[in-house]
Amino acid sequence: MNLIDIFSRQRKTSLISLGLMLMILPWIISHGFESGNSYLRAFDMALLFIMLSLGLNIVVGYAGMLDFGYIAFYAVGAYTYALLNSPHLQALLPAWMMYPPFIVSIILAAGIACVFGIMLGGPTLKLRGDYLAIVTLGFGQIVRIFLTNLDRPFNLTNGPQGINNIQRVHLFGLDLGRPVQILGITFEPVHLYYYLILFFCALIVVVSLRLQDSRIGRAWVAIREDEIAANAMGLNTRNIKLLAFAMGASFGGISGALFASLQGFVSPESFIMMESVMVLCMVVLGGMGNIPGVILGAIIVSITPEILRDVINPLQMALAGRKVVDPETLRMLIFGLVMIVIMLVRPEGLWPSSRRRAELKPQTKGIALQEKDDMQDAERNHD
Amino acid sequence: MLQVKNLEVAYGGIHAVKGIDLEIKQGELVALIGANGAGKTTTLKTLVGMVKPAGGDIIFNGQSIARMPAHEHVGNGLVMVPEGRGIFSRLTVEENLLMGAYVRNDKAAIKQDLERVYTLFPRLKERMKQLAGTLSGGEQQMVAIGRALLSRPKLLLLDEPSMGLAPIIVQKIFEIIRMIAAEGVTMLLVEQNAKLALQTANRGYVMESGHITLSDTAENLLANTKIQEAYLGE
């Protein structure tokens, strides 16, 4: 899938219709369902997770570096946004630093997450595979533990209570926390946030697509394949790997900032290791290295629990007359089962890239035949 | 073109290369032969900056390159085809070749060079959309050499191009090496297959446990009885 494809004529129509669908979606959901607004919130979360998994996809899918602490960048983005846009640090920070314009907050969140990405990437450049996974796992824990404990010696993160009263987004003179009337139509805050997040999500999808087909994108794949050969071809492997960490982290930072602005509240609880695992599952389930696949994975993994919650309880009531299992427990059970089945049946993911498919289903027969070809060819030339 | 002066390389406490001198002139095809563990590959890796020298100097076109980071050598015209080919197996043949042109920006010239590589290796043109990992060993070696040619080397370093290939395919690869040499590319060829290497090269160096023990024209080395006994199996 490349940009030329996407902007070719047939794609254009389908792209426009997809865009329209996404624009109308909040209306259908919030008016078509009883608990519509909570579903719409689930959609907002799904969009945030799409951004996260596209960011992780750069590190894991393209550059092939296993990262188990990715949620840390989401946390850094969220806390950056929260600290700048809540009264928490008002006493410490000069007034001009507080409540910056929304775009500035987002850029700062992305930037600081990016710095953390380089902080993680720098010392771990020589590690790969399992070893890198362990270090990143530790990194994720360290960030979370810092967030929990940095209420002393001075109160930076407000510890386990988290940061409250994050200001609602103000954009182009609009307060996204209140209903807005445009052309006689009332836009609820939940709709406005949906559009805001959708915009950033689309932006990240486009950036991901451009990266994939760029020189850098090919360089990441080359490094994943054979770092020494890539180096021998003149690739500055160190900087290119760091760039993968930095890009991935800044995607996470943007997503985190949007999360903080949507919730109005952040606490370390949102950034536990399980979240890192979930994002990784999205990438793996959807199809590592393939953007549509990763998006699909993110949607499935983040929406399914919401649907399950609404299905399991009534179902249990109907079948057993009482709550037998907590939906949350059952969700993890089902989820684990599905992951195992997928890994057994379709290890390349639901919608893999052609590259990944080839890698997991090698055409061994083809190789043997070619080897024979080769020999015959050489013999012929020699006669 | 290339002068190596008293080069020393050490891995930890172990000296792999113990003060060698090498010289390669414009347009030459020079062979570096020797047994396993003699320090041949280490020498090549040091030339392209993948291993840092412990002493001595490397002069390439009048400039000392002994401390240059690995990725800068390619733009400088010193390109290595790594041992065991090192192709990107999940990129297509064409994508592999284009990785060779990673440091270049001249699109039109890259395209020309790509066509030139396809003329040199018609086989690769047939398979250009195929994933490189599905190619046979000989074809992979062609990809590795073609990829290196796309970075327009002034000096091409070949590390064991015959490794792991059937004898008949080795012959074919050496034909290609002669063709590239005929086009005027200067080459340093590191080989265990001493006979074939010396038959192809103009001059040769013999390396033994970190030292250069002999250096002469290829014919003289082929005629040398000591070399015949030790490396040519005669």
- The answer to whether the CB of A136 falls within 8 A of the CB of A123 is no
A154: exposed, middle or buried (Cβ count in 10 Å: 0-12, 13-18, 19+)? exposed
Per-residue pLDDT at B156: 94
Is the C-alpha dihedral spanning B142, B144, B145, B146 positive or negative? positive
Q: Above 50 in pLDDT, residue A364?
A: no
Q: Above 80 in pLDDT, residue A72?
A: yes
Cβ neighbours of B98 in A, within 8 Å: 218
Q: Above 50 in pLDDT, residue B120?
A: yes
Q: Which stretch of DSSP H or E encloses residue B96? A: helix B93-99
Per-residue pLDDT at A369: 47
Residue numbers of B between 24 and 53 with CB closer than 8 Å to A: 48, 50
Superfamily of domain B27-51+66-232: P-loop containing nucleotide triphosphate hydrolases (3.40.50.300)
Residue of A nearest to B168 (CA): A378
Per-residue pLDDT at B234: 63
Band of pLDDT at residue A367, cut at 50, 70 and 90 = very low
d(CA A145, CA A247): 24
Per-residue pLDDT at A135: 94
Q: What is the pLDDT of residues A231-264, one digit of tens each?
A: 989 999 999 999 999 999 999 999 999 999 999 9
Per-residue pLDDT at A84: 93
Mean per-residue pLDDT of chain B: 90
Give the closest residue to A44 by CA, choosing from A36, A34, A32. Answer: A36
| A253-262, A281-290, A350-359, B130-139: least confident range | A350-359
Q: What is the pLDDT of residues B179-223, one digit of tens each?
A: 999 988 999 999 988 889 999 999 999 999 889 999 999 999 988
Residue of A nearest to B80 (CA): A232
Band of pLDDT at residue A366, cut at 50, 70 and 90 = very low
Per-residue pLDDT at B57: 93
Is the C-alpha dihedral spanning A85, A52, A72, A65 positive or negative? negative
Per-residue pLDDT at A378: 52
Instruction: Indicate yes or no: CB of B99 within 8 angstroms of CB of A230.
Output: yes
Mean per-residue pLDDT of chain A: 85
Which of A29-33, A168-172, A372-376, B25-29 holds the top average pLDDT? B25-29
Residue B214, SS3 per DSSP: strand
Give the closest residue to A56 by CA, choosing from A310, A341, A349, A298. Answer: A298
Overall average pLDDT of the A324-344 stretch:
82
Per-residue pLDDT at A212: 87
pLDDT higher for A170 or A358?
A170
Does residue A370 sit at the B interface (CB-CB below 8 Å)?
Answer: yes
Band of pLDDT at residue A210, cut at 50, 70 and 90 = very high
Helices (H), A155-290: 189-212, 215-225, 227-232, 237-263, 273-286
Residue of B nearest to A371 (CA): B136
Amino acid residing at A2: N
Tokens linked to A380:
């012929």
Cβ neighbour number for residue A322 with a 10 Å cutoff: 7
Q: Above 80 in pLDDT, residue A4?
A: no
Overall average pLDDT of the B66-87 stretch:
89
Q: What is the pLDDT of residues A105-154, one digit of tens each?
A: 999 999 999 999 999 999 998 888 889 999 999 999 999 999 999 988 88
Instruction: Indicate yes or no: CB of A230 within 8 angstroms of CB of B82.
Output: no
Does residue B88 sit at the A interface (CB-CB below 8 Å)?
Answer: yes
Cβ neighbours of B172 in A, within 8 Å: 378, 381
Write down the pTM of the prediction.
Answer: 0.84
Band of pLDDT at residue A190, cut at 50, 70 and 90 = confident
Q: Above 60 in pLDDT, residue A372?
A: no
Per-residue pLDDT at B230: 83
Per-residue pLDDT at A1: 47
Query: What long-range pairs does A180-183 form, CB within 8 A, spacing at least 24?
Result: none
Instruction: Indicate yes or no: CB of B134 within 8 angstroms of CB of A358.
Output: yes
Query: Where are chain A's structural domains?
Result: 3-291
Per-residue pLDDT at A260: 95
d(CA B71, CA A235): 5
Instruction: Indicate yes or no: CB of A377 within 8 angstroms of CB of B123.
Output: yes
Q: What is the pLDDT of residues A259-288, one digit of tens each?
A: 999 999 999 999 999 899 999 999 999 988
Paired with B30 in beta bridges are B188, B203
Per-residue pLDDT at B44: 92
Global ipTM:
0.84
Does residue A380 sit at the B interface (CB-CB below 8 Å)?
Answer: no
- The answer to whether the CB of A323 falls within 8 A of the CB of A313 is yes
Among A219, A228, A374, the residue with its CB nearest the CB of B139 is A374
Band of pLDDT at residue A365, cut at 50, 70 and 90 = very low
